Structure 1
């Protein structure tokens, strides 16, 4: 059974009908999923080089990345339009 990582103190992540949890899998990948489901919504897999660069703080970085992603998804679900003023560079 993978370890469930706690979220930020006082922060709860909601989807319309369920709670979400962030889990570190035995192979080191980090997964976002519904608390009552084993299926993955998002999986992050940091390379060994990235983990070394982050000095072992990759779990904290993953929590921040997933938290911002869930917040953005919530805004989009509420109808807040994404700013689209031209081409976007993803890097």
Structure 2
């Protein structure tokens, strides 16, 4: 994916999306269940930010081939 300004937005229906700053199309969508929202006590946006941050970092590593071990196989844990 080309380098672009990314933004995290909470939509009116409660979904949290990652999208390019110049586009309304979602790249990733997170939706927490009512039980998860209750457990997180209103902090679902902070949890979503952390999840998306790690996801973007992992995508960068994949793009660089950094998730392969010495044998050239992908490590899944």
- TM-score by structure 1 length? 0.72
Which structure features the higher share of helix residues?
2
Counterpart for residue 47 of structure 1: 33
Instruction: State the secondary structure of the residue aligned to 1:67.
Output: helix
CA distance in 2, matches of 1:34, 1:68: 17
Counterpart for residue 43 of structure 2: 57
Q: CA RMSD in A?
A: 1.4
Count matched residues: 71
Which structure features the higher share of strand residues?
1
| Structure 2, gaps ≥5 residues long | 69-73
Task: State which of 31, 54, 77 in structure 2 corresponds to 1:68.
Answer: 54
1:24 aligns to 2:10 (yes or no) = yes
Q: Deviations over 1:35-83 (max 9, x none)?
A: 1110000000111110000111111000000000000000010111241
